[in-house]
Structures are given as structure tokens and as C-alpha cells.
Structure 1
């Protein structure tokens, strides 16, 4: 199962981003919210944005695999998606709009590609059959 690799990678991204938020909360002694610290605000948004994007992308990737996508397609979508996530994180952390913008572009293109593949190759005859 190729998609399992990307599920694990997604979990690692989320763990990394979560640990960064925890580290900054401890550093600034902030239990709730961001305490007005911009570094913590950014880390919270990086984690939040990942939580908003990673689960749906992974579901789409798993569906692609179930719908018979070639291995190269799964790797292409998975690699583009996580390259986008890494670029977005780097851009947010270092204030580099180019990385942030292109990271979101890669994320959006890979998710869109997965949606289109799944719409085209979904077993519609089974789905639309009334029992």
C-alpha cells in the first residue's frame, strides 16, 4: 500500500508541527492562545493549516489507490503535496512569501489532481446502484 507511506509522513509532519507549538508554549509560558507572541502565532497557524489540509489529502490519496491509480501517480501526488506542505511551513517560519505562496500552490494542485482522478475513476456504477 503506497498510500500508507504518505499517511505515516503526514503523521510525522503533524507531530513535528505540534512539538514546535509545545516548545514555544513552554518557552513563552503560554498555556492557552498565543500570548501575543508572533513566533507562537506562526507555529499555531502552521500546525492549524496542516491539520486543515493533510487529512483530506491523505483520504484522497487512499481513495486514489483504492480506485486503481498507478504507483507513479500516487507518488507524484504524495510528493507534490508534502513538498508543498514543507515549502509552506518554511515560508511561514522565515517570512518568505515566495515559499509560502508556492507551497500552497503545490498543495492546491496536488489536492485538485487527486479530486479529479477520483471523480474520473470512481466506480460510479457501484455507487449509483440502488439496492
Structure 2
């Protein structure tokens, strides 16, 4: 399963983002919340944002793969997912608004494209399954 590769890579990214939060919590001696620390707030939101968008994208990828979409579509989606999440995370860390917005746009477009492709494969499978 191709999606398993990208789920695993995204899991590694989430671990990295989580470790950054833990490191900043220790550095600033904050056990819960962010204590108003801007650096910690950004790290927490970066991790949170990844946990909000990665799962639905992977689910849509997995469903599309199960619908027997071309292998290159799944790889393209996985690469776009990783690139957009890394772009977004690095932009939040550096405060680069343009890169952050680009990462968000890629993520939103990807989710929309995967949803439309899943609907297409569902409809096509329904109408052409009897052929």
C-alpha cells in the first residue's frame, strides 16, 4: 500500500513536531498550555495544525488507493502532503507568512482534489461496475 509509506513519513514528521514542543516546554518550564510564550505557541500550533490536516488527507489517499486509482496519483498526493506540511511547519517556525500560506493552499487544494477524485471513482465504479 502506497499510502502506508506516506502515513509513516507523516508519523515521523509528527514525532519531530512533538519533540519540538516538549523541548520548548522544558526550556521555558511550562508543563501545560503555552504560558503566553510566542515560541511555544507557534510550536504547539504547528503540531496541532499537522494533527488536524494529515489524518483526513491520509484517509482520502487510502480510499483513493483502495478505489484502484493510478499509483502515480497516490504518490503525487503523498509528496504534496509531505511538502505542504513541511513547508507550513518551517514557515511557522521562522514566521514566513508567504510560505505558511503556500503550505496551507497546497494542503487545501490537495484535500479538495482527493475528495473530488474519490467522488469520481465512486460514481464511475457505481455506473461501470456492471459492465
Aligned length: 126
Show the counterpart of 2:36: 36
Report the TM-score when normalising by structure 2.
0.92
RMSD: 1.4
Report the TM-score when normalising by structure 1.
0.92
Which structure 2 segments of 5+ residues have no match? 127-131
User: Would you say 1:113 and 2:84 are equivalent positions?
Assistant: no
Which structure 1 segments of 5+ residues have no match? 126-131
**1:54-90 Cα distance to aligned partner (Å, 9 max, x none):** 0111101100100111111001111111111111111
Is the CA contact (8 Å cut-off) linking 1:82 and 1:107 kept in structure 2? no
Is the CA contact (8 Å cut-off) linking 1:65 and 1:74 kept in structure 2? yes
Show the counterpart of 1:81: 81
- For residues 7 and 84 of structure 1, the distance between their equivalents in structure 2, rounded to whole angstroms, comes to 14
Matches for 1:1-131 after TM superposition, within 5 Å: 1-122=1-122, 125=126
Cα drift, residue 93 of structure 1: 0.5
Is the CA contact (8 Å cut-off) linking 1:60 and 1:114 kept in structure 2? yes
- 1 or 2 for the larger relative contact order (CA 8 Å, sep ≥6)? 2
Q: Which runs of 4+ in 1 moved over 2 A?
A: none
- For residues 70 and 53 of structure 1, the distance between their equivalents in structure 2, rounded to whole angstroms, comes to 23
- For residues 54 and 36 of structure 2, the distance between their equivalents in structure 1, rounded to whole angstroms, comes to 27
